[in-house]
Structure 1
Amino acid sequence: MRVVIAGGHGKIALILEKLLTERGHSVAGLVRNPAHAADLADAGAEALVADLEKATVDEVTGHLIGADAVVFAAGAGPGSGAARKETVDRDAAVLLAEAAEAAGVGRYLLVSAMGDHLRADPDTFDEEFGIYMRAKAAAEDALRARSAPRPTIVRPGLLSNDPGTGRVDLGDRTGTGPIPRADVAAVLLALLEDPQLDGRTVEVIGGDTPIADALSVLAAR
């Protein structure tokens, strides 16, 4: 399987790239900064230089030819300002979907964010976080409205850098809770290798169920 990851130098992406490589898959990461190529190489991934805030659909399409799946793991990050929440977390996610369709990529995994349907009450969150949440919600809506590729949306809980446990709580709704980035990456790997939840929107936090079992239980519902 050939997988291309947008936000290829992010923490979750680097873990996922290593996991995919260890499983014998071909993986590449889209990065803005060519200097990050060495870190991707250490994870076993090819670096494809593309700034999703500036690139055209045609430019990104060229990077996706031959891919079986794309993963959007990019994010503007804390302190990046309101404008970049929209150009990265919303617009770049949509651009990747347009390019994936043009390249004939059939599968799209979106790393989103957990919230009350992601539509933040401006009185509940600070302004920048509210914009981030609404940008994620808009990206989800835009992807669901497309005929292809059909998105699988993953909403993780509060991310940590703790070691992964391989055990999660996975569901249509889980409630809030923490989860190591390593376990999010492992869930993404499992979803890529097992398409039974393709097209679903799932939430994931730390839990007691082995990841493969959690996928099978949810798929049976």
Structure 2
Amino acid sequence: MATLRAVVVGGTGALGRFLLGELVSSPAFSEVISLGRREATIPETFQITDAQMRKLKQVIVDFDLETFTLENNKSHFEDKDVFFCALGTTRSVASRQPGNTAENFRRIDLHLVVRCAEIAKAAGVRHVSLVSSVGANANSWFLYTKTKGQAENEVEAIGFERTSIWRPGLLDRGADARLAEKFLKIFATPMALGDVACGMTTEAVQWAFKTTAFPPVSRYNNAAIRDFVRQSKQSEVNAADNPSVPAAATEGDGTGESSEGQDADRTAKDDAITTEQATELEIEPKPSDNEEPKAV
């Protein structure tokens, strides 16, 4: 049975850890390369076996834009089927670094994201799967949503055979939830980190094995993510009946927003603001590109 090989950037983050767990536990993936400044840990809820853990290779890299170049890192992306990018920081973290807070944030969430995607494309990766945010818009007044929108546009422009952009709203970090996230749960139903990771994995398998017709570019909101989770659960049942078909490759309807369409089945809760957006709404009503945002 054919299997897939993936490279992940951002595997040490809250969502990235769940993504690594989904990938190494999926029989559809035989190799997972995680690039990061430190080694990532997979949540214990996955109960990963020794055999599954052997799929994972962790590579420590320096994400400085001056040194993270095609020449130094192309080999990590070669012979891979899909590049998963869950890279991102927060303005709070960016404010603790030397220099301008906004530029520190953009260096990670825009410039480094695009650099990784460029290297992946040059190395022959056909599919990029990018974690963005609900409300991403390159024309936004707000640093967070503007940067995410710019990253989406630039990654799309690179021209992968398949580009998947994930726009979850408020995320449920469980015990690690920030104060603002706990407050926002009053107004919106958060999305489980594991559900986003499951959706990303399921969609990648469906596209790779051509069980579903996808447009070149799709943007997925919470409703679409939940649909992929449902498909994943159903595929586990189908795969048990037909072992020759990889789990997660047995069902799909190609839902999601194409580069020219609108998100389907959008609801108010699906469009709930993220913690970062809420913070900006409180302290940064109309920032300019050259203005340094206040630390939070």
Shift of residue 77, structure 1, vs aligned partner: 2.6
* Aligned: 1:218 with 2:255: yes
* Aligned: 1:138 with 2:141: no
CA distance in 2, matches of 1:114, 1:29: 25
Matches within 5 A, 1:1-221: 1-24=4-27, 25=29, 26-33=31-38, 36=39, 39=41, 44=53, 45-54=56-65, 55-81=68-94, 82-115=102-135, 117=137, 119-121=139-141, 130-162=142-174, 177-195=189-207, 196=212, 197=214, 199-204=217-222, 209=227, 210-212=229-231, 215-216=252-253, 218=255
Change (3 A) 1:219 1:77: closer
User: Partner amino acid for 2:167?
Assistant: R
Shift of residue 40, structure 1, vs aligned partner: 5.8
> Which SS does the other structure have where 2:217 is aligned?
coil
More strand by share: 1
CA distance in 2, matches of 1:208, 1:108: 20
Contact residue 94 and residue 142 of structure 1 kept, 8 A = yes
> Which SS does the other structure have where 2:221 is aligned?
strand
CA distance in 1, matches of 2:72, 2:43: 22
Instruction: Please give the TM-score of this superposition, normalised by the length of structure 2.
Output: 0.59
Change (3 A) 1:108 1:53: same
Contact residue 224 and residue 256 of structure 2 kept, 8 A = no
User: Partner amino acid for 2:155?
Assistant: L
User: Partner amino acid for 1:91?
Assistant: H
Tell me the C-alpha RMSD between the 2 structures: 3.0
Contact residue 83 and residue 128 of structure 2 kept, 8 A = yes
The worse-fitting range, judged by mean Cα deviation, of 89-98 and 189-198 is 189-198
CA distance in 2, matches of 1:183, 1:118: 26
Shift of residue 72, structure 1, vs aligned partner: 0.6
Contact residue 195 and residue 226 of structure 2 kept, 8 A = no
Contact residue 114 and residue 156 of structure 1 kept, 8 A = yes
User: Partner amino acid for 1:139?
Assistant: A
Contact residue 177 and residue 205 of structure 1 kept, 8 A = no
> Which SS does the other structure have where 1:218 is aligned?
coil
Contact residue 178 and residue 205 of structure 1 kept, 8 A = no
Shift of residue 18, structure 1, vs aligned partner: 1.5
Change (3 A) 1:215 1:17: same
User: Partner amino acid for 1:188?
Assistant: M
Change (3 A) 1:80 1:64: same
Identity %: 24
Shift of residue 219, structure 1, vs aligned partner: 6.3
Gaps of 5+ in 2: 95-101, 176-187, 235-250, 258-263, 265-296
CA distance in 2, matches of 1:67, 1:181: 24
CA distance in 1, matches of 2:154, 2:132: 13
Instruction: Please give the TM-score of this superposition, normalised by the length of structure 1.
Output: 0.77
**Which of structures 1 and 2 has the bigger CA Rg?**
2
CA distance in 1, matches of 2:92, 2:12: 18
2:281 is aligned to none
Shift of residue 199, structure 1, vs aligned partner: 2.0
CA distance in 2, matches of 1:50, 1:56: 11
Gaps of 5+ in 1: 122-129, 164-175
CA distance in 1, matches of 2:136, 2:87: 21
Shift of residue 132, structure 1, vs aligned partner: 2.2
